[in-house]
Amino acid sequence: MPPTDRVADPEDAESTKKSVCPRINLVPVKYTKTIHFVRHGQGFHNVAGHINHDNYKSWEYYDAHLTELGWRQAENLGKHVAATRVPVELVVVAPLQRAMETAVAAFGNHNDPGAAAAAAGAANGNGNGASSSGDEAPLLMVAQEGVAGKVTAHAAVSGRGCPPFLAHELCREHIGVHPCDKRSSITNYRKRFPGIDFSLVSPDEDVLWTADVRESKEAIRRRGLAFLKWLLTRPEREIAVVTHSSFLHFTLSCFGHGAATQVQGELHKWYENCEMRTVVLTDDSDEGVAAASHGATDPWHFAGGSHATGGEAQ
């Protein structure tokens, strides 16, 4: 029988697979992504909410920042990422301050000597994260002054040698009622985080958050699934996503049903502050393959045949 891409007896093949190993699946690697999901570090709203859950409704914690502990958690995550050589090609971040602070702390450059000059340039009104002397050091975040109980003072963070950072509104936290989950204007964010790309977030002000309606669990799940479909269209294979606990829980709870109890637990367990877990994402449907095809490659593929002999006839 000549070689063919077609399976002569697809129903028999599928039946055998279901009877022998029904949960095993094989997908060409070029249609997969490795996603490193990260929950933000401890925020001031977390501390207040643990004391009294009603504090989540307080405007004192509008678009909450990281606590000092939250910054340490995120910086320690960064040390872990460096030590384990996580090959992140893109950092996607929810457009809320605690998530962006976590992202720059974990995946930014804290040892760039040019960052101080860039910070001075930003302070002098350059507004582009570069020093006035021309020694360009792209800043992910400008230095921030502390405000007791609300903002932790922190030095500027450089983006030199780092992957690109991209904000996406689909992965933001549970929307509505809680002021901590209401974002600030993109104009303000661009000043604070000049190295983050906000081109996918609009309009400038937060029109999704409302004071009297809390987003439903079903709405979060649908938003999360739409976000995963968007991730599959990206050309990058290794992507870090810095986001929030409710978003992660309700999105990931859509998966793993019927899997081993341990797998379900690892997917569905509530994330701790600054916890990172890694999953493999794929969609082998016609729609998924079409969405991924523009950037889908297998970097390890070797064609064989005449290619393996330098073009010589076989």
How far is 306 from 83, CA to CA, in rounded Å? Answer: 41
Contacts of 71 (CB under 8 A, 6+ apart): 41, 101, 105, 152, 154
Q: Which segment of 5-19, 209-223, 273-287 scores lowest on mean pLDDT? A: 5-19
Q: What is the mean pLDDT of residues 247-276?
A: 95
Q: Does residue 40 carry a catalytic annotation?
A: yes
Contacts of 146 (CB under 8 A, 6+ apart): 152, 153
Measured from the Cβ of residue 57, the count of other Cβ atoms closer than 10 Å reads 15
In this prediction, residue 125 has a pLDDT band, given cuts at 50, 70 and 90, of very low
* pLDDT above 70: residue 47: yes
The matching CATH number, chosen from 3.40.50.300, 3.40.1160.10, 2.60.40.10, 3.40.50.1240, for 33-117+137-292 is: 3.40.50.1240
How far is 179 from 51, CA to CA, in rounded Å? Answer: 17
How far is 77 from 164, CA to CA, in rounded Å? Answer: 18
Average pLDDT, the chain: 90
Q: Among residues of the chain, what percentage have pLDDT more than 70?
A: 89
Q: What is the mean pLDDT of residues 189-199?
A: 98
Q: What is the mean pLDDT of residues 224-228?
A: 97
How far is 196 from 258, CA to CA, in rounded Å? Answer: 39
Q: Which segment of 42-46, 133-137, 181-185 scores lowest on mean pLDDT? A: 133-137
- Residues facing residue 281 across a β-bridge: 33
Tokens of 306: 């005449």
Tokens of 205: 């002000």
Reported pTM: 0.89
Measured from the Cβ of residue 73, the count of other Cβ atoms closer than 10 Å reads 23
* pLDDT above 50: residue 17: yes
The answer to whether the CB of 83 falls within 8 A of the CB of 59 is: no
* pLDDT above 80: residue 176: yes
Cα dihedral 289/290/295/299 (nearest 10): 30
Reported as a single tens digit per residue, the pLDDT across 281-313 is: 999 999 888 887 766 788 888 889 888 887 555
Q: Which segment of 58-62, 77-81, 122-126 scores lowest on mean pLDDT? A: 122-126
Give the per-residue pLDDT at 128. 40
CA-based nearest residue to 91, from 75, 76, 77, 106: 106
Tokens of 43: 């925020």
How far is 167 from 104, CA to CA, in rounded Å? Answer: 12
Give the per-residue pLDDT at 216. 97
Give the per-residue pLDDT at 9. 79
Q: Does residue 173 carry a catalytic annotation?
A: yes
Element (H, E) at 10: helix 10-20
**What ranges do the domains of the chain cover?**
33-117+137-292
Q: What is the mean pLDDT of residues 83-97?
A: 97
Q: What is the mean pLDDT of residues 172-187?
A: 98
Phi first, then psi, for residue 12 (nearest 5°) are -65, -40
Separation of CA 110 from chain center? 20
Determine which one of 173, 174, 236, 249 is catalytic: 173
In this prediction, residue 126 has a pLDDT band, given cuts at 50, 70 and 90, of very low
How far is 166 from 240, CA to CA, in rounded Å? Answer: 10
How far is 166 from 169, CA to CA, in rounded Å? Answer: 10
Q: Among residues of the chain, what percentage have pLDDT more than 90?
A: 73
Pairing status of strand 196-197 against strand 165-167? parallel
Give the per-residue pLDDT at 119. 63
Reported as a single tens digit per residue, the pLDDT across 20-33 is: 988 898 999 989 99
Give the per-residue pLDDT at 299. 85
Cα(first)–Cα(last) distance of the chain, in Å? 19
Which among 134-143, 189-198, 301-310 has the top mean pLDDT? 189-198
Tokens of 255: 């998966």
How far is 103 from 167, CA to CA, in rounded Å? Answer: 10
